């Protein structure tokens, strides 16, 4: 297996659908989804790890939290691979998006990074010009539009939310799919608070 190719494709795959997170409305504020608030739980396989991702958002995505926990499928899968040095085996992280920032924290090490959150400068389609609608499907009772990017990635969108993402790398199916959707989820007062005692890497 070409692990460098796999690593590159994993990064590309994870970025697909994220572009919609950064689109802006007519007044330059973030408005990502066609629903005010929601909680979505996903199961995923990124080629070497299996895990769960929880996404909670409010104000149509102006505020958003992602919790990701994943574990290496097999300890031997990366043995003798040059890619092993830069691919994290296990993941336990949280990312919080506010109108100003995107904060990512490794829960195990309590180390985090911050970056400014800005709308895409040239529009959400600038970086993904080669895309087309290839059909529709139903996931958890929600009707989705299936969009294919660069003839490689497929994303199932419902109300602007990617309920499923899929690509194939060297015969390996890399996939993320929603297993639970709670449209009535009650946003907690401290839902988007940053974990305490975080050491910020870029300060």
92-149 residue pLDDT tens: 999 999 988 899 999 999 999 998 887 655 445 545 568 889 999 999 999 999 999 8
CB 78 within 8 A of CB 48: yes
Nearest to 38 by CA among 58, 52, 20, 54: 58
pLDDT at residue 200 tops 50: yes
Please tell me the chain's helix, strand, coil percentages from 3-state DSSP, rounded to the nearest 5: 10, 45, 40
Which pLDDT does position 129 carry in this prediction? 60
Which pLDDT does position 92 carry in this prediction? 92
CB 52 within 8 A of CB 43: yes
Whole-model pTM over 0.85: no
Domain range list for the chain? 3-127+170-185
d(CA 141, CA 155): 17
**Which residue has better confidence, 162 or 131?**
162
Backbone angles phi, psi at 41, to 5 degrees: -110, 130
Question: With bands split at pLDDT 50, 70 and 90, how would you rate the model's confidence at 153?
Answer: confident
d(CA 62, CA 196): 22
Q: Which residues pair with 143 in a beta bridge?
A: 138
Nearest to 47 by CA among 26, 68, 70: 70
d(CA 164, CA 72): 21
**Which residue has better confidence, 96 or 87?**
96
9-67 residue pLDDT tens: 554 444 433 433 334 443 344 558 999 999 999 999 988 889 999 999 999 999 999 99
């Amino acid at each position: 297996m070409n692990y460098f190719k796999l690593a590159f494709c994993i990064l590309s795959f994870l970025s697909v659908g994220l572009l919609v997170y950064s689109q802006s409305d007519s007044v330059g504020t973030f408005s990502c989804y066609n629903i005010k608030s929601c909680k979505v739980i996903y199961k995923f396989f990124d080629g070497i790890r299996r895990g769960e991702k929880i996404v909670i958002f409010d104000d149509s995505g102006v505020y958003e939290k992602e919790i990701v926990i994943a574990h290496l499928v097999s300890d031997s899968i990366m043995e003798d691979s040059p890619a092993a040095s830069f691919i994290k085996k296990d993941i336990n992280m949280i990312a919080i998006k506010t109108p100003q920032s995107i904060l990512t924290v490794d829960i195990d090490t309590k180390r985090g990074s911050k970056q400014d959150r800005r709308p895409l400068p040239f529009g959400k389609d600038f970086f993904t010009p080669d895309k087309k609608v290839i059909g529709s499907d139903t996931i958890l009772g929600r009707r989705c539009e299936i969009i294919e990017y660069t003839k490689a990635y497929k994303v199932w969108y419902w109300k602007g939310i990617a309920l499923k993402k899929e690509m194939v790398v060297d015969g390996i199916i890399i996939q993320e799919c929603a297993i639970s959707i709670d449209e009535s989820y009650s946003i907690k007062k401290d839902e988007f608070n940053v974990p305490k005692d975080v050491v910020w890497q870029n300060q």
